[in-house]
């Protein structure tokens, strides 16, 4: 009987066991550990359950998926027992590697409406979002939690002696595609360049498809807490990690459990510098900037990427100006950010439109298709050869493909996966459209301008810091489509209007370029953390 | 994942003790013996119960599931898979009481399922054997249905075509497919339960045809399922088949799909001059099938 599959499976299981044991045995160093291991039925999450104290196995532990038990004796014979019930996620299927979310479908009651008029459906959903936004502030805390450092009478906890080189702990939302994630990856690189060892964790269980993009460096360690450890135990793990690995700095990129760690760090490890980076004030509940604002008294530095967020932190949460630092997501090469050369010319006879974004509702893929449809009609009337490219993956992919076919756009609109060479695409595109429910300052707009492509975006977030008024369109679906076509029509037929837009973009670009970049504000903080750690 | 591989053979039987014993002999001779051999006895009135119980005394893998009444092949497979699922089986080998597996038939299915996944990352929802008649020719009624890209992973040494439908004669189904898609429909009673079930689980991913796994199906004759073959004796089975397939097509493809099916049935019967009285009976079953909506039970 062939054993090939068995050997591959066994080696997978063994590697997974090593991963979770390393995590639990860092938390429970002296206890007697009993692992009850199952083979999981999903590819992402291990459903861990930790029971401290005596635990008697029941039939629920020995079901069809039961793999076996592992014992790690405690330091003493009477060490307390800890039982960890855990399942090993199965390897992902190719379809899951591509996309873990189920394909999007319209809400059951509104399915017929979507079939009859996708835009009417979008309009209703948009109105519902706006309503949620209006009511959001009433439900969520909108003031900073107070923090009292304590009286000088009692001494602060002191950094323990260590021979370890200092390290940074970087908390990501997940290691998937996205603007916030791109900044996270950059900060990992900057931390390494600043002399820190780097530990990376992600808060949201997922396949972490971009994990292979982490620097291939012995000082970078990705710890899969997202897969193996329940959030309520993160503080205990981080406490041990900070002390054992000489963590000098914790940088949070949209990693919720890291905010909950702040009281622990402030009270027991006050020497650890705490930073977060935020991007978007989100509609429903304010999103990460609101959470950051609520914890602002516990953070040493609040890094934001737009002027809007500086005002938000200082205005809404009374964060001190010295704490809120603006660092743009721009790359200054050789000390310069080159002035963009925008290609579109009035009266040209071709139009290539690009859309780059994950196919989630936030990016309004249905509105993108409707915009492309309206532009196709416009192009026919104006004798312009129209084509478009949509880049991105997500639950809306299938719905987009069907809509494009239904509107007869299948041959004019190319759909490409997320790993497409976006700069090359933008070099060949005249216009980038970005309908969106919420944005910080969309990275793809920076990229588009750098490559000579004019963005037209929904008027959300801080997009007005990058684009002139006429290139910002309402987020309301019908108006957004109409205004996008109107703006393109004017740029094609009115050269002075086009020049005004180009001048407007250049002026905004120049203003943004004068601001510090994220690298310029964060690297000094990282270096200071290294010096502090070594100085102590 | 082949680290867990508890395998249950589910054999449904009715009044064929002699053939059933040959099946149990073939199972005992397997290079990979099932951990559980579950004989689902559809209230047989011959000596099946005594024969199985006598055999079980010397073979601890045999379990005898005596049903209080004859619930048909569909009901038997439903009850058998449900019981095997509760026993914790990871793989279900499903077969008839008159199909004798070659000694390596089960091992080949198991290996193919796991090797396919290991090499191609996709998980087949089932693996089915080549079913031969007693003279070595292909058994007409047990020919699986391929999908359009059936040749996608076919290799000279691993000729596993992708299929989306097969019969319950030597098919191996992994536990995840049962957990995700539920059990076969017991209310079908007989015919089309296997096609419906394998098409249902193939929604996740098609199954594979494993020609190197072979079984001999000891049927009285080697005939396919064609409505041109309806006669007085077989009418009752064809009526169940027509009702069940109509019900399935209505569920999956709507009325147009049923009409296309009815048209095909009509052509088959016309081409073979099936008597009008029998045709009317079949059409009646198709009409019954339109309102026949049996529930799909999930495994627990």
Where are the domains positioned within chain B? 7-217, 227-290
pLDDT, one tens digit per residue, over A329-384 is 888 776 677 778 899 999 999 999 999 988 888 899 999 999 999 999 999 999 99
What beta strand segments (E) does chain B contain? 7-13, 36-41, 62-66, 91-96, 99-101, 127-133, 145-146, 161-165, 171-174, 207-217
Question: What pLDDT was estimated at residue A3?
Answer: 40
Q: Taking a C-beta distance cutoff of 8 angstroms, is the pair A520, A327 a contact?
A: yes
pLDDT band (50, 70, 90) for residue A155: confident
Contact A93 B123 (CB under 8 A): yes
Last residue within a domain, chosen from A71, A90, A109: A90
CB half-sphere exposure, A270, CA atoms < 13 A: 9
Q: Are residues A20 and A33 in the same domain?
A: yes
* Residue where a domain stops, chosen among A38, A68, A90: A90
What's the fold here for domain B7-217? Spore Coat Polysaccharide Biosynthesis Protein SpsA; Chain A (3.90.550)
Question: Per the CB < 8 Å rule, is A65 touching B4?
Answer: yes
pLDDT at residue A460, rounded to an integer? 87
Whether the CA torsion A104, A106, A111, A114 is positive or negative: it is negative
Task: List the 187-206 stretch of B: residues with Cβ below 8 A of A.
Answer: 205
Chain A residue with Cα closest to B105: A1
Average pLDDT, chain B: 95
According to the model, what pLDDT value does residue A138 have?
A: 66
Same domain, A402 and A275: no
Chain A residue numbers with beta carbons less than 8 Å from the beta carbon of B110 are: 1
- Has residue A481 been placed in a domain? yes
Q: How close are the terminal C-alpha atoms of chain A, in Å? A: 62
**Number of structural domains in chain A:** 3
Distance of alpha carbon B107 from alpha carbon B126, whole angstroms? 14
pLDDT confidence of residue A442: 85
Residue A204 maps to which CATH number?
3.40.50.2000
B115 touches chain A (CB under 8 A): yes
Answer yes or no: is pLDDT of A284 > 60.
Answer: yes
Closest by CA position to A39, among listed B48, B5, B142, B1: B1
**Residues of chain B contacting A67 with CB distance shorter than 8 Å:** 3-4
Q: Return residues 84-123 of A near B (CB < 8 Å).
A: 90-91, 93-94, 97
A479 falls within a domain: yes
Total beta-carbon pairs less than 8 A apart between chain A and chain B: 55
Mean pLDDT of A379-408: 93
**Residue A27, in any domain of the structure:** yes
Q: In the Cβ-directed half-sphere of A407, how many Cα atoms lie within 13 Å?
A: 23
Q: Which residue does chain A place closest to B106, by CA atoms? A: A1
A307 lies in some domain: yes
Answer yes or no: do A359 and A491 share one domain.
yes
Q: Is residue A124 part of a domain?
A: no
Give the whole-angstrom CA distance, residue B251 versus residue B200.
11
**A67, A90, A94 ranked by CB distance to B122: nearest:** A94
In the 3-class helix/strand/coil scheme, how is A337-399 assigned residue by residue? Answer: CCCCCCCCCCCCCEEEEEEECCCCHHHCHHHHHHHHHHHHHHHHHCCCEEEEEEECCCCCHHH
Examine the domain organization and report whether A263 and A406 are in the same domain: no
| A380: phi then psi, degrees, rounded to nearest 5 | -60, -45
CA A483 and chain centroid, separation: 29
Residues A303 and A359 in one domain: no
Q: Is the pLDDT of residue A513 over 90?
A: no
pLDDT at residue B1 above 60?
no
Cα–Cα dist B64/B44, whole Å: 12
Q: Average pLDDT of B193-210?
A: 97
Q: How distant, in Å, are the alpha carbons of A282, B52, B57 from that of B21?
A: 69, 8, 14
pLDDT attached to residue B274: 93
Facing residue for B175 by CB, picked from A6, A13, A64: A64
- Pair (A228, A284) in one structural domain: yes
pLDDT tens, A45-93?
999 999 999 999 999 999 999 999 999 999 999 999 999 999 999 999 9
- A68 Cβ under 8 Å from any chain B Cβ: no
Give the pLDDT confidence score for residue A335 in this predicted structure. Answer: 67
Distance CA A386, CA A378 (A): 9
Give dist(CA B126, CA B100) in Å, integer. Answer: 19
- Would residue A281 count as lying in a domain? yes
pLDDT grade for A283, boundaries at 50, 70 and 90: low
Token readout for A69 is: 């038990």
* Mean pLDDT of the residues in chain A: 91
pLDDT at A531: 92
- pLDDT at residue A173 tops 70: yes
Contact B118 A5 (CB under 8 A): yes
Whether B39 has a pLDDT exceeding 90, the answer reads: yes
Q: Are residues A251 and A203 in the same domain?
A: yes
Do residue A507 and residue A367 come from a single domain? yes
pLDDT at A2: 42
pLDDT digits (tens, 9 = 90+) for B246-264: 999 999 999 999 999 999 9
Query: Which of A8, A39, A41 has its CB closest to that of B118?
Result: A8
Do A423 and A496 reside in the same domain of the chain? yes
For A64, A106, A513, B148, the CA distances from A110, given in Å and listed in that order, are 41, 6, 46, 34
Both A72 and A207 in a single domain?
no
**Spatial CB neighbours of A500, under 8 Å, sequence gap ≥ 6:** A468, A470
Chain A, 294 to 353: residues with Cβ < 8 Å from chain B are none
**Residues A463 and A525 both lie in one domain:** no
What sign has the CA pseudo-torsion B82, B85, B89, B92?
Answer: positive
Model confidence pLDDT, tens digit, residues B62-111: 999 999 999 999 999 999 999 999 999 999 999 999 999 999 999 999 99
Domain that holds residue A29: 12-90
Residues A316 and A397 reside in one and the same domain: no
Burial of B201 (0-12, 13-18, 19+ CB in 10 A): buried
Q: Of A28 and A155, which is predicted with more confidence?
A: A28
Count CB atoms within 10 A of the CB of residue B18: 12
Tell which of A36, A68, A90 closes a domain: A90
Instruction: Give the ipTM.
Output: 0.81
């Amino acid at each position: 009987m062939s054993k090939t599959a068995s050997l591959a499976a066994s080696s997978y299981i063994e590697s997974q066991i090593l991963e979770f044991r390393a995590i639990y045995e860092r938390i429970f160093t002296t206890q007697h550990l009993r692992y009850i291991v199952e083979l999981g039925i999903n590819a992402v999450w291990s459903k861990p359950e930790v029971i401290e104290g005596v635990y008697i196995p029941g039939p629920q532990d020995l079901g069809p998926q039961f793999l076996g038990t592992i014992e790690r004796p405690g330091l003493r014979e009477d060490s307390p027992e800890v039982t960890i019930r855990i399942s090993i996620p199965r390897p992902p299927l190719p379809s899951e590697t591509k996309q873990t979310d189920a394909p999007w479908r319209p809400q059951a009651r509104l399915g017929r409406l979507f079939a009859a008029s996708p835009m009417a459906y979008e309009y209703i959903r948009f109105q519902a979002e706006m309503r949620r936004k209006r009511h959001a502030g009433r439900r969520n805390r909108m003031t900073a939690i107070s923090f009292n450092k304590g009286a000088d009478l009692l001494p602060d906890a002191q950094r323990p002696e260590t021979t370890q080189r200092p390290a940074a702990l970087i908390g990501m939302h997940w290691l998937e595609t996205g603007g916030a994630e791109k900044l996270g990856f950059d900060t990992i690189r900057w931390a390494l360049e600043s002399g820190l060892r780097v530990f990376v964790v992600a808060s949201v269980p997922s396949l972490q498809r971009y994990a292979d993009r982490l620097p291939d460096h012995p000082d970078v360690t990705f710890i899969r807490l997202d897969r193996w450890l329940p959030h309520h135990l993160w503080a205990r793990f981080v406490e041990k990690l900070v002390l054992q690995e000489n963590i000098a700095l914790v940088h949070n990129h949209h990693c919720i459990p890291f905010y909950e760690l702040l009281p622990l760090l402030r009270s027991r490890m006050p020497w650890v510098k705490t930073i977060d980076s935020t991007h978007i004030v989100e509609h429903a509940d304010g999103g990460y900037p609101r959470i950051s604002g609520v914890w602002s008294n516990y953070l040493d530095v609040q890094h934001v990427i737009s002027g809007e967020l500086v005002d938000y932190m200082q205005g809404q949460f009374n964060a001190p100006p010295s704490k809120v630092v603006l660092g743009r997501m721009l790359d200054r090469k050789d000390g310069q950010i080159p002035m963009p050369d925008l290609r579109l010319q009035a009266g040209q006879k071709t139009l290539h439109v690009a859309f780059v974004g994950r196919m989630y509702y936030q990016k309004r893929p249905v509105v993108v298709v409707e915009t492309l449809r309206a532009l196709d009609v416009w192009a026919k009337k104006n004798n312009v050869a129209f084509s478009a490219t949509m880049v991105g993956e997500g639950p809306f992919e299938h719905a987009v493909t069907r809509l494009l076919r239904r509107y007869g756009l299948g041959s004019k609109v190319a759909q490409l996966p997320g790993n497409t060479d976006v700069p090359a695409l933008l070099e060949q595109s005249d216009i980038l459209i970005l309908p969106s429910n919420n944005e910080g300052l969309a990275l793809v707009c920076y990229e588009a301008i750098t490559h000579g492509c004019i963005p037209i975006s929904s008027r959300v977030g801080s997009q007005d810091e990058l684009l002139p008024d006429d290139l910002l369109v309402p987020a309301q679906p019908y108006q957004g489509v109409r205004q996008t076509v109107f703006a393109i029509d004017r740029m094609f037929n009115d050269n002075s209007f086009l020049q005004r837009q180009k001048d407007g973009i250049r002026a905004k670009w120049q203003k943004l370029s004068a601001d510090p970049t994220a690298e310029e504000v964060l690297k000094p903080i990282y270096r200071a953390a290294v010096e502090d750690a070594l100085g102590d | 994942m082949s680290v867990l591989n508890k395998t249950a053979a589910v054999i449904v039987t009715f009044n064929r003790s002699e053939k059933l014993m040959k099946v149990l002999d073939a199972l005992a001779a397997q290079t990979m013996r099932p951990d559980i051999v579950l004989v689902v006895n559809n209230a047989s009135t011959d000596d099946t119960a005594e024969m199985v119980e006598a055999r079980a005394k010397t073979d601890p893998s045999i379990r005898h599931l005596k049903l209080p009444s004859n619930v048909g092949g569909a009901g038997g497979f439903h009850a058998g898979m449900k019981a095997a699922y509760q026993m914790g089986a990871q793989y279900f080998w499903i077969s008839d009481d008159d199909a004798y597996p070659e000694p390596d038939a089960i091992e080949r299915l198991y290996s193919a399922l796991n090797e396919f996944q290991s090499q191609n990352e996709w998980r087949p929802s089932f693996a089915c054997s080549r079913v031969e008649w007693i003279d070595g020719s292909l058994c007409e009624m047990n020919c699986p249905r391929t999908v359009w890209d059936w040749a996608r992973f076919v290799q000279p040494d691993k000729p596993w075509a992708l299929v989306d439908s097969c019969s319950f004669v030597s098919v191996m189904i992994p536990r995840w497919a049962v957990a995700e898609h539920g059990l076969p429909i017991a209310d079908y009673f007989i015919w089309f339960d296997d096609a419906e079930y394998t098409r249902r689980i193939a929604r996740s991913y098609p199954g594979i045809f494993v020609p190197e796994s072979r079984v001999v199906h000891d049927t009285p004759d080697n005939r396919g399922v064609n409505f041109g073959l309806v006669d007085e004796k077989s009418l009752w089975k064809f009526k169940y088949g027509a009702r069940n397939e109509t019900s399935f097509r209505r569920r999956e493809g709507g009325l147009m799909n049923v009409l296309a099916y009815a048209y095909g049935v009509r052509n088959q019967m016309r081409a073979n001059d099936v008597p009008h009285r029998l045709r009317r009976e079949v059409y009646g079953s198709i009409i019954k099938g339109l309102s026949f909506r049996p529930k799909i039970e999930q495994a627990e």
